[in-house]
Amino acid sequence: MYADSLLINSIIGEGTKLRGEFELKGLLRIDGEFIGKIDDKGGRVLVGVNGKAVAGPTVDPATPFIIAEIIIIGGKVKGHVKAMKRLVLLDTAELIGDIETPRIVADEGAFYEGKCTVTKQPGTEDDKLSDQKVLSMAKRSLGSH
């Protein structure tokens, strides 16, 4: 279930700057600054309230620089993102770039600028969760509000 998958196995801590390509399976939390490309097709990416993620200069703007099943944004993200199940924008989120996802949950106050493509996906267990419940769990996982 969703709560079981919130165990963080990789973190870019506050005050840390990381550049390059990051491939993983699991959950990545960004509280520092990341520039480059993230491929976490089997997991989740959380950008904390103070976190920042930017597509690297070698990333084609037409392709996603963050790919994950679920992406939760509480901080700043600049570039094309692809969430294969769900994208969550918290009220502190600032996303500038294109989105590809079958489901978007946005908290009041979230900022977004770009093109959004809503893709089709067969129903999953996560679809049964209400948007409000998803926002509540996302905020708890990032320690905000």
Paired tokens of 47: 């950008």
In the predicted model, what is the mean pLDDT of residues 108-128? 79
pLDDT-derived band at 122, boundaries 50, 70, 90 = low
For residue 125, give the DSSP letter: G
Between CA 102 and CA 104 the distance in angstroms is 7
116 versus 127: the higher-pLDDT residue is 116
Per-residue pLDDT at 143 exceeds 90: no
pLDDT at 61: 83
Q: Which residues contact 59 (CB under 8 A, 6 or more apart)?
A: 36, 37, 65, 79
For residue 5, give the DSSP letter: G
Closest by CA to 20, choosing from 37, 5, 4, is: 37
pLDDT at 2: 46
Q: pLDDT by residue (tens digit) across 62-82?
A: 888 999 999 999 999 999 999
In the predicted model, what is the mean pLDDT of residues 101-125? 86
Paired tokens of 19: 């550049």
Q: pLDDT by residue (tens digit) across 27-46?
A: 999 999 999 999 987 889 99
In the predicted model, what is the mean pLDDT of residues 10-28? 92
pLDDT at 3: 47
Quote the percentage of the chain above a pLDDT of 70.
81
> pTM for the whole thing?
0.83
Per-residue pLDDT at 1 exceeds 80: no
